[in-house]
């Protein structure tokens, strides 16, 4: 999947040395493919094609865990993995929005815990209908984000301080809400529980999603190609489009087959994919998304171009708070409860660190202006694979903490190194 900001519409293939007169047109697709391969190799060397390295790392992780425990790559475990990534993944998508404007939101773990508790208290203790409790819980996340954003954008308090304070405040509020009742079990047949428990049993569902995704990709790529061609501009070769489509189809259908061998397509995964597609589209293809990237690239430049910097900042924290709340509902759904224990765990920062690690591992930069929601999919699969593998092997929490922290540190270090490599090339 693409990363690295709103360059050419689709991703890594765009970096080819395209000449002004659209030279690619005149050559055979084999040449283009060879050139593309060279591009990719140069990209890896320059630290720009991070995703390929991450995919290679993921394959290694999977092979190692499969070697240690042959249940790791079973349809059952992979299917569970695809559900478990969603809570953290949604939180991480919110983090991506904030990272893109070169800020950070440290409160997302607490906010997700707060949303889960707010839902449970409203629905179970006060008998509020589930749909309404869900809306209120998500709105709480949005409001908390707006609160952080206003403190940051208009009062000028550094975002990490605002959200660090928020981490404690919202965790305290969660414990306060749950204090009276202790652990609250949510309805196991209800709407929120089904977020993670529902699977589309019909095999057709998973195949249809895989086919739709592939077809959507190829149609969009071909339409873009013909528009570029009509405008007399360089365009991707047929071969490259088909190669990318082929890879996508292989991954999508392999996933569908695997999921169908267990319980079918999980609802949670479908929701996650929809969130990724929508947020990626907004960031890359809309005027609003362009402002977000601009802010991450240069606040002063954005301001002089007439962008309302403060408003965009507040909006990004609202997105982050909202997605943290939605992710929190998925976490509560997976546990079918909200409890002081899980609230304390949320406050301890495990979810926060996993979410940041997921975003950064996938290639979203901590230094702003570079990244994509799709990076989260890759990153969260890595993070959750490590967690799942260690869980299967019965590794104790203490060791898991150290390993997760180490992975985050490694990802951030790689980000910093790649930034330096780019700065070296960028500024002669």
CB of 158 to another protein, least distance (A): 21
- The contact mask relative to another protein for 15-34 (x = CB under 8 A, - = no) is x-xx-x--------------
- Mention every residue, 6+ apart, whose C-beta is less than 8 A from residue 350: 109, 401, 404
User: Interface with another protein includes 222 (CB under 8 A)?
Assistant: no
User: Interface with another protein includes 3 (CB under 8 A)?
Assistant: no
302 vs 351, beta carbon nearer another protein? 302
Residue 201 CB neighbours (<10 A): 11
8 vs 222, beta carbon nearer another protein? 8
Task: Select from 10-18, 55-63, 330-338, 356-364 the region that touches another protein (CB under 8 A).
Answer: 10-18
- Mention every residue, 6+ apart, whose C-beta is less than 8 A from residue 371: 3, 4, 5, 96, 99, 100, 359, 362, 363, 364, 365
The footprint of another protein on this chain (CB under 8 A) covers a number of residues equal to 42
Angstrom distance (rounded) from CA 303 to CA 301 = 5
- The contact mask relative to another protein for 327-366 (x = CB under 8 A, - = no) is ----------------------------------------
- The contact mask relative to another protein for 154-193 (x = CB under 8 A, - = no) is ----------------------------------------
Question: What length does the chain have?
Answer: 428
- Judged by CB under 8 A, the chain residues 299 through 318 that form the site for another protein are 300-302, 304-307
Angstrom distance (rounded) from CA 76 to CA 43 = 36
On whether the CB atoms of residues 372 and 284 are closer than 8 A, the answer is yes
CB of 98 to another protein, least distance (A): 16
User: Interface with another protein includes 294 (CB under 8 A)?
Assistant: yes
- Report which of 98, 147, 89 is spatially closest to residue 375, judged by C-alpha positions: 89
Please identify which residue in 287, 394, 396, 398 interacts with another protein, judged by CB under 8 A: 287
User: Interface with another protein includes 298 (CB under 8 A)?
Assistant: yes
On whether the CB atoms of residues 90 and 272 are closer than 8 A, the answer is yes
Residue 22's alpha-carbon distances to 19, 225, 230, 256, 358, in angstroms, are 6, 12, 12, 38, 37
User: Please, what is the end-to-end C-alpha distance for the chain in angstroms?
Assistant: 30
Token pair recorded at residue 271: 């929701």
CB of 369 to another protein, least distance (A): 4
- Which residues bind to another protein, rule: CB under 8 A? 5-9, 14-15, 17-18, 20, 224, 227-228, 231-233, 285-288, 290, 293-294, 296-298, 300-302, 304-307, 368-370, 422-423, 425-428
């Amino acid at each position: 999947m693409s990363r690295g900001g709103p360059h050419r519409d689709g991703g890594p293939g765009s970096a080819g040395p395209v000449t002004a007169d659209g030279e690619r047109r005149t050559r055979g697709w084999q040449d283009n493919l060879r050139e593309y391969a060279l591009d990719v190799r140069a990209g890896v060397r320059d630290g720009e094609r991070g995703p390929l390295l991450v995919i290679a790392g993921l394959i290694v992780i999977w092979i190692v865990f499969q070697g240690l425990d042959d249940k790791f790559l079973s349809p059952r475990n992979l299917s569970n993995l695809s559900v478990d990534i969603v809570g953290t993944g949604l939180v991480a998508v919110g983090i991506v929005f904030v990272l893109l404007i070169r800020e950070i939101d440290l409160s997302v773990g607490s906010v997700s815990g707060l949303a889960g508790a707010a839902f449970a208290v409203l629905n179970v203790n006060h008998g509020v209908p589930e749909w309404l409790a869900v809306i209120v819980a998500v709105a709480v996340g949005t409001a908390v984000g707006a609160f952080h954003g206003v403190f940051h954008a208009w009062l000028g308090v550094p975002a990490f301080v605002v959200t660090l304070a928020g981490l404690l405040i919202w965790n305290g509020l969660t414990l306060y809400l749950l204090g009276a009742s202790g652990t609250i079990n949510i309805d196991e047949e209800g709407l929120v529980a089904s977020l993670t428990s529902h699977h589309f049993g019909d095999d057709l569902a998973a195949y249809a999603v895989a086919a739709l995704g592939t077809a959507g990709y190829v149609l969009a790529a071909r339409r873009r190609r013909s528009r570029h061609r009509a405008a007399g501009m360089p365009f991707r070769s047929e071969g490259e489009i088909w190669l990318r489509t082929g890879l996508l189809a292989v991954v999508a259908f392999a996933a569908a087959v695997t999921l169908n061998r267990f319980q079918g397509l999980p609802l949670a995964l479908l929701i996650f994919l929809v969130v990724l597609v929508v947020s990626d589209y907004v960031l890359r293809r809309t005027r609003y998304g362009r402002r977000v990237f601009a802010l991450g690239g240069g606040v002063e430049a954005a301001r002089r171009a007439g962008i309302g910097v403060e408003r965009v900042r507040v909006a990004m924290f609202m997105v982050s708070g909202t997605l943290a709340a939605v992710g929190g509902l998925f976490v509560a759904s997976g546990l079918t409860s909200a409890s002081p224990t899980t609230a304390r765990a949320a406050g301890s920062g495990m979810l926060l660190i996993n979410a940041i690690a997921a975003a950064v591992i996938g290639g979203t930069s901590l230094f702003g202006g570079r990244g994509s929601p799709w990076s989260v999919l890759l990153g969260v699969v890595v993070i959750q694979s490590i967690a799942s593998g260690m869980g299967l092997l019965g590794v104790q929490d203490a060791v898991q903490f150290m390993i997760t922290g180490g992975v985050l540190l490694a990802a951030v270090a790689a980000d910093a190194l790649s930034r330096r490599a780019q700065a070296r090339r960028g500024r002669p």
